[in-house]
Structure 1
Amino acid sequence: MHKIWLITQREYLSRVKKKSFIIMTILGPLLIGVFYAIIIGLAINQKTGEQTKTIAVVDKSGLFENKLENQYRLEFSYFKNENSNDQNSIYGWLLIPENFTLENPSQIVFKTKNSPTVDLQSKITHAIETACKNTKLMKKGLSQAFLDSLKVDVNLHTLQIKDDGKVEDSKAEINLGLGAAFAFFIYLFIFLYGVQVMRGVMEEKTNRIVEIIISSVKPFQLMMGKIIGVALVGLTQFIIWVILSLILMVLVSSSFSAEFNEITQNVSQNNYGMTSKIALVFDTIFSQSLIYFLLLFVFYFLFGYLLYSSMFAAIGSAVDSESDTQQFMLPVTLPLIISFASAFSILSTDPHGSMATFMSIFPLTSPIIMMVRIPFNPPAWQIVVSMLSLVAAFVLLTWLAGRIYRVGILMTGKKPTYKELFKWMLMK
């Protein structure tokens, strides 16, 4: 164990002292801060700088006079013809021909000098469709007041019944977002730093440094030391990224505090349901469920990384160049790619189905799938079986990878096959 720690320490210090590590550690949060500032700036500019668009309506059919509903940042004004004296204030012209009929509403034309957005076209289309529908209903004898009374805004309040019988606000959507974020981080971390383990093994093998190192340590100790060392490097970089990113985001938010507060107040006044959801988000973030989430994340993060990194290390020890890794990379990374690609399509339709259950228990896919499935409260036995199978797979695959590593690390000048790798596993 002492030798593994020494190798881990050497691997960690040699990587964190590199200029590339220092530059990326500083550059990452700066890019996040700039991106965050751009998003806030665009949001503020959209809310404060966007002007109400006036659409001039020339209705020769007489069916839509004062019947098109104004919407947010969109107003309708009515004219007898296109010869208006106030052309500068008009964004576009909505022309309804005299032969327009409710049964065939396809002759309407919208003319503008600008390039209208999809959102604007959708608003105009919705206003016309609503007016057509209301006109048809009014012809059936229904009054405008009755039609207005049909408009109902529903804010569904979802409650969840716990196993102990208690009822509380459902936080599945918020937890799903957190789970998706954690799953994405696990996916990204395994790929980025697992490949670093593979390249580090290949570099030492190519430079013949490994022949000196294994004279004093066992190949398995060397492999585990490299895996743990790279993991600590990644965690260090991630923690620094989080801290610096939060500091920069707070500074950016404070610099836009006045404009941001004004927008928040407007949202609160116009959309109470959205405000309550935002409050629920913060309540979830600082609740005990987050601790449960974080504990599971740490487990699946560590064992998922160790599981895949051991296989990456075995690949690095078996080849001499990065071009030779392609034949071995696909079988190793395919379960990870499939789990990430299918996570949301499977779980959004049936999170408790047989496919979702299998993939959340199967060790090569469970680090991704189970993190996204946790918000849907899978049975406790499935979580336990998933964790035990992941630990068992880690022990088994690390042992097999170690047997490949001890042989492959000293072999050069030959491209191995799957058959030879299998022989190395069985070699005494």
Structure 2
Amino acid sequence: MNKVLLIIQREYITRVRKKAFIVMIFVVPLLILGMSAVVGYVAKSNQELSTEQVVNVIDESKVFAGKFHSGKNIKYESGNQNLAEAKKELNKNEDLSILLIPAGYAKKDVVQILSKKKPSFKLTNEVEKQMNAIASAESMVAHHIDTAFLNALNKNKISISAMEVTETGVKDANVGTNMGIGIACAIFIYMALFIYGAQVMRGVIEEKTSRIIEVVISSVKPFQLMLGKIIGVGLVGLTQFGAWIILSIISTKIAGQAFAGPGGAMTGMLGVLATIPFGYILGCFLFYFLTGYLLYSALFAAVGSAVDSETETQQFMFPITLPLLFTYILSVSVLFQAPDSPLAVWLSIIPFTAPVAMMVRIPFGGVAPWQLALSMGLMVIGFLFTTYVAARIYRVGVLMYGKKASFKELAKWFFYKE
């Protein structure tokens, strides 16, 4: 046990003393804060088209002419109704587009926007929206429907507030916030398992290729070496994530006071976050980070022991990481929309997919206690099993040189007797 502790200490201290580790602790929260500000600014500034677009409307149907409403950066004109001459003007001006509306405009894909450069999605979407509104109004007038009355009715839009009934009363469900936290947790878990698992694999490859491993193995058992390396790198990851969480909270509060003021949007966002069971989510995050890391890093260590260079790892990496990649894609596209669906429940229970899938479900608060207990129990069993399998491969592979391993070869290594 003392030897394992020495290996853990060596792996941990060696990595946390590196300048890159110290710099990244402070840089990442600042980058996240800066990126959030830039994304918010860009999203706000791109609500309108960046340059003024002129749309020459050639309306052969005589339904839409003169009914388009020009906006801040989009101007509708009907000056040139000759298509050939309009195309000549088009070649001279990149910000000019031609909206060609044939008589049978209701048919699919017959209305066209012609432009020298590819029309933006915002432009085509805006034109399409106005045309649908104009066509609907014309149809209602043709059927003697009072459009003014309908427009007045449409102004009374219904807004629904999602509320949650708890033992202490009714409170805001914060669906949007829960969705954001769930996706963020899934992304962080996914990134962490890859980043720190790959560090274990690279460490094993470096020691193997430099032949340092031959000296170390003479003093400790292969399993002790692998276990110490995995735990040491895992503690580095916990230290880094803990520092990022603390610094991110501090920087967010400072930014909220500096830019938003006591009643600003940032303060309001912090108030919403205060209603989230942060301790519960953080505890689950740490558990699934640790168990998921132990499960995958053991397999990464086995892969590192089976190859002589990082370029040879691809044939083994894809089958190992496929369940994690599959769950990540589903998490950011499907699972957050239905966190209690059978697919989400099963993915959150299976050990190879649970770290990502469960962290999507937990912020929504719909995880039954038995599901969480079963998932956690299987995660513990899962990383113990993968550690056992990886250790048997590691003990042989770490001393193999110059031989390209295959899955068949790994199976042989697993069944070798001590």
TM range (shorter): 0.7 to 0.9
In structure 2, the partner of 1:402 is: 391
- Distance change >3 Å, CA 171–CA 35, structure 1 → 2: closer
The offset of 1:305, in angstroms, is: 0.4
- Distance change >3 Å, CA 414–CA 112, structure 1 → 2: closer
The offset of 1:242, in angstroms, is: 4.8
Whether 1:366 aligns to 2:362 is no
Q: Would you say the 8 A contact 1:351–1:376 is kept in 2?
A: no
Q: Would you say the 8 A contact 1:198–1:312 is kept in 2?
A: yes
Structure 2 Cα separation of the partners of residues 18 and 204 of structure 1: 18
Whether 1:302 aligns to 2:277 is no
In structure 1, the partner of 2:87 is: none
Whether 1:8 aligns to 2:8 is yes
In structure 1, the partner of 2:309 is: 321
Q: Would you say the 8 A contact 1:311–1:401 is kept in 2?
A: yes
Whether 1:190 aligns to 2:193 is yes
Q: Would you say the 8 A contact 1:59–1:78 is kept in 2?
A: no
- Distance change >3 Å, CA 322–CA 49, structure 1 → 2: closer
Q: Choose from 376, 379, 395 the match for 1:387.
A: 376
In structure 1, the partner of 2:227 is: 224
Deviation digits for residues 67-104 of structure 1, max 9, x if unmatched?
55676x3787898989xxxxxxxx9798899x968877
The offset of 1:386, in angstroms, is: 0.7
- Distance change >3 Å, CA 294–CA 111, structure 1 → 2: same
The offset of 1:326, in angstroms, is: 2.9
Q: Choose from 305, 322, 327 the match for 1:339.
A: 327
Deviation digits for residues 172-191 of structure 1, max 9, x if unmatched?
44212211111111111111
The offset of 1:11, in angstroms, is: 0.9
Q: Would you say the 8 A contact 1:55–1:74 is kept in 2?
A: no
Q: Would you say the 8 A contact 2:55–2:75 is kept in 1?
A: yes
Match of 2:161, SS? coil
Structure 1 Cα separation of the partners of residues 407 and 80 of structure 2: 79
Structure 1 Cα separation of the partners of residues 41 and 305 of structure 2: 49
In structure 1, the partner of 2:158 is: 154
Q: Would you say the 8 A contact 1:179–1:372 is kept in 2?
A: yes
Structure 2 Cα separation of the partners of residues 120 and 178 of structure 1: 33
Structure 1 Cα separation of the partners of residues 65 and 301 of structure 2: 74
- RMSD of equivalent CA atoms: 4.2
Gaps of 5+ in 1: 83-90, 265-274
Structure 2 Cα separation of the partners of residues 75 and 416 of structure 1: 62
Q: Would you say the 8 A contact 1:160–1:168 is kept in 2?
A: yes
Structure 2 Cα separation of the partners of residues 361 and 297 of structure 1: 15
Matches within 5 A, 1:107-122: 117-122=120-125
Q: Write the letter of the residue equivalent to 1:192.
A: I
In structure 1, the partner of 2:411 is: 422
- Distance change >3 Å, CA 67–CA 147, structure 1 → 2: farther
Whether 1:234 aligns to 2:237 is yes
- Distance change >3 Å, CA 256–CA 70, structure 1 → 2: farther
Q: Write the letter of the residue equivalent to 1:2.
A: N
Structure 2 Cα separation of the partners of residues 400 and 214 of structure 1: 19
Match of 1:216, SS? coil
Structure 1 Cα separation of the partners of residues 373 and 35 of structure 2: 40
The offset of 1:63, in angstroms, is: 5.6
In structure 2, the partner of 1:270 is: none
Q: Would you say the 8 A contact 1:37–1:252 is kept in 2?
A: no
Whether 1:17 aligns to 2:17 is yes
Give the number of equivalent residue pairs: 401
In structure 1, the partner of 2:141 is: 138
Structure 1 Cα separation of the partners of residues 312 and 304 of structure 2: 9
- Distance change >3 Å, CA 405–CA 123, structure 1 → 2: same
Deviation digits for residues 41-85 of structure 1, max 9, x if unmatched?
5356557997998989898988668855676x3787898989xxx
Matches within 5 A, 1:162-173: 162=166, 167-173=170-176
The offset of 1:385, in angstroms, is: 0.7
Deviation digits for residues 100-130 of structure 1, max 9, x if unmatched?
6887799988799998643233223322321
Q: Would you say the 8 A contact 1:346–1:355 is kept in 2?
A: no
Deviation digits for residues 197-219 of structure 1, max 9, x if unmatched?
01111211222222332333332
- Distance change >3 Å, CA 398–CA 67, structure 1 → 2: same
Match of 2:11, SS? helix
- Distance change >3 Å, CA 191–CA 326, structure 1 → 2: same
Matches within 5 A, 1:199-214: 199-214=202-217
Structure 1 Cα separation of the partners of residues 171 and 14 of structure 2: 50
The offset of 1:395, in angstroms, is: 1.4
In structure 2, the partner of 1:357 is: 345
Q: Would you say the 8 A contact 1:134–1:147 is kept in 2?
A: no
Q: Write the letter of the residue equivalent to 1:296.
A: C
Q: TM-score, normalised by structure 1?
A: 0.76
Identity %: 40
Match of 2:348, SS? helix
Q: Would you say the 8 A contact 2:186–2:331 is kept in 1?
A: no
Q: Would you say the 8 A contact 2:350–2:375 is kept in 1?
A: yes
Structure 2 Cα separation of the partners of residues 418 and 104 of structure 1: 57
In structure 1, the partner of 2:279 is: 291
- Distance change >3 Å, CA 346–CA 136, structure 1 → 2: closer
Q: Write the letter of the residue equivalent to 1:215.
A: S
Q: Choose from 128, 131, 140 the match for 1:128.
A: 131
Matches within 5 A, 1:30-45: 31-32=31-32, 34-42=34-42, 45=45
